[in-house]
A and B are shown apart, each in its own frame.
Chain A
Amino acid sequence: MTKRLGGVYAAYLVFAIVFFGPVLFMLWSSLRNNVDITGSLFNIGSPLTLENFTNLFERFAFGRYIANSFIVAGGSTILGLVLGAPAAYVIVRRKLAALGFVTLLARMAPGVLFVLPLFVLSIRIGGPDSVALNYALLIVAHLIITLPLCIWLLVPFFEEIPISIEESTLIDGANAWQRFLRIALPLALPGLSVALTLSFIFSWNYFLFALALANERTLPLTVIAFNFIGQGSNDFGGLMAASTLISAPALLLTIFAQRWLVRGITGGAVK
C-alpha cells in the first residue's frame, strides 16, 4: 500500500511540475526585476520586489480596470443567472433540447463574428459616449459567454429535482412561477453557486468584446495586459504582474471555491 501511495505522489509531483510550474513561474516573475526575468531561470536567489505591482497602479488606473472587470463579469453573471435559470428549468421540464441547442450556437460561433455587429450596434446607440450605457453594453455582450454556460450548468441540477416534490405542490394550487421560485430554485442552489463561479471566471477572462466595445472609462483588466510590450518598452515584470492580477480570481476561487469549480466543470458531463 505504501508503495502504491509513493507511486501516486510521484505522479502528483510530475503533473504538478508540468501543469502548475508555469503558474509558479508567472507568480515568481511578477516579483522579480526585469533584468532578472530575462536572465537565468536558475538564479533563484535574485532579489524579490513588489515594484512591478506598485508600478501598475502608479502608471495606469489599475484600480479602475479591476473595478471594471468586476462590474462586467459580475453583471453579466447575475444577468446570465436571472435569464438562464428559468430557461434551464423550462428546458428540463418541457424537454426543449432545441432551445438548448440555439443557446449553444453562441458557444459554437467564433467570437470574432460578434465583434463587428456588436460594435455597429454600440455606436448606433451612442455606446462609446456614455459610461453607463457602455457598462450595460459590455454586460449584455458578455451574456454571449455567460448565458449558454449558465443554462448548460443548471440543466443537470434541475434534472436532479424529483418531480414528485413539485407534484405535491400542485395540490396546493401553486402556479408555475411559484413552484419554480419556492421549490425548484432553492433545491438547485448548489447549481446556482456552480454557475455563478464559472460564469464569473469565463466572463472575467474574455477580452475580445471589451477590446471592441469599452471606452476609456470602462476598460477591463484583460485588455490592458497587452500594453506592457511595445516599441521602446519591454516591461516583462509589469506584464507578469498584470497577468498575475488577471489570474487572481481564478487562483483565489481555486482556494476558496474549489468544490463549486469542480462541480461546475464536471457537472454537465458526470452527474
Chain B
Amino acid sequence: MAVDLAELKGMIEAALPGASVEVFDEDGGGQHLRAVVAAAQFEGLSRIDQHRLVKAAVKTRFDDGTIHALSVKTSVTG
C-alpha cells in the first residue's frame, strides 16, 4: 500500500487540533518518513510523551504495515 503523506498529516492534525504538521518522505520510497510537529498540547510533556502522542495518531498505519519508520521532531508552540 502506498504511503499517503497527506493522510498521515491529517491524522496527526486530527489528534492534535491546532498543531502545525509536516510529513516528509525522506527516501522517496516511503520507508523513512519524518514528521515535524509543533503543538501547544506538548507543553509540559517529556519528549517521549510528545512522540507518543504523534505515534498514537498514526498507529493504525503502523499496525496495518503501511509505514515502518517514522522519525518525529516535536516542538511546543503557544
Does chain A bind chain B? no
A→B interface (CB under 8 Å): none
